[in-house]
Structure 1
Amino acid sequence: MQVELRKAIDEAFVQARQELRARRSAEAMVWLERAHILTQRRPWLHARSHCLMLRAGWQQGDVREVLGQMPRILAALLFSRIWVPIGNTGRARVSAFQPMPISEELRRLLE
């Protein structure tokens, strides 16, 4: 994995965990969406982003998010190397199959 991409992934997870510890789950979700986009092709890291989204959803008391993350964790482990919808943020409020626009910064990191 290229150095810049690895640093960006690590930063997203570190920031998300800090926000979760501070019980700022909405802010954590912003970092987790970034982590999700960057890790979609890496099963363990992809699943990790969904696990942390589940935790953030739990903190928010968001039943839809919690229930939506459960199948996504399993799907991340099983299908990340086969097919992913590029740019999808990973949240339960969007279809798990919907490609989404991606920022130029993230596109550059993923090339």
Structure 2
Amino acid sequence: MNILASAFSKEWSLAEAARRAGDLDLAFHHLERAHILGQRRTWLHVKSHLGMLRIGWQRHDFKEIAGQLTRIAAAAIFSRIWVPIGNTGGANVSPTRPMPMPADLQVVLDAQDP
């Protein structure tokens, strides 16, 4: 497993553990980090949005549900073409807005082959 896949898997696992423990805010935080890591890999990008959709569903947050449904479709189409760097992927931010990159995630992305 390469460094990017490993880092994504770690964030996904932390999100799942937090979700199972009932801490949906922490789960969403880890999904945002997974999203940043997976943006340029179509399946990882879509998977992060599916995780966010699940949290939206559990919260009964219809804005998040609607936002994630559109983002899932966009992720499937645009992941390899263009993504806004650092964007956390939640419905609370514009899907086209670049955002500051967390330093620890930048290290992972820098170590990854294009």
Short-chain TM bin: over 0.9
Matched, 1:18 2:17: yes
- 1:78 is matched with 77
**Correspondences of 1:93-108 after superposition (within 5 Å):** 93-108=92-107
CA distance in 1, matches of 2:4, 2:78: 21
Query: Segments of 4+ in structure 1 off by > 4 A?
Result: none
Paired amino acid for 1:76: A
Equivalent residue, structure 2, for 1:64: 63
| Cα distance in structure 2, aligned partners of 1:5 and 1:48 | 14
Q: Provide the alpha-carbon RMSD of the alignment.
A: 1.1
Contact 1:25 1:57 in 2 (8 A): no
Per-residue deviation, 1:52: 0.5
Say if 1:9 and 1:39, in contact at 8 Å, map to a contact too. yes
Instruction: Name structure 1 gaps, 5 residues minimum.
Output: none
TM-score, normalised relative to structure 1:
0.94
* Partner residue in 1 for 2:54: 55
Query: What is the percent sequence identity of the aligned residues?
Result: 51
- Is this contact kept in 2: 1:50–1:90, CA < 8 A? yes
TM superposition shift of 1:23: 2.5
Distance between the aligned counterparts of 1:45 and 1:110, measured in 2? 14
Distance 1:89 1:45 in 2: 13
2:40 aligned residue: 41
Query: In 2, distance between residues paired with 1:14 and 1:105?
Result: 17
Task: Give the TM-score taking structure 2 as reference length.
Answer: 0.91
* Number of equivalenced pairs: 110
Once the 2 structures are TM-superposed, how far is the Cα of residue 62 of structure 1 from its aligned partner? 1.1
Deviation of 1:15 (Å): 1.1
Report the Cα offset of residue 60 of structure 1.
1.2
Q: Distance in 2 between matches of 1:100 and 1:83?
A: 14
Tell me, which stretches of 5 or more residues in structure 2 are unaligned? Answer: none
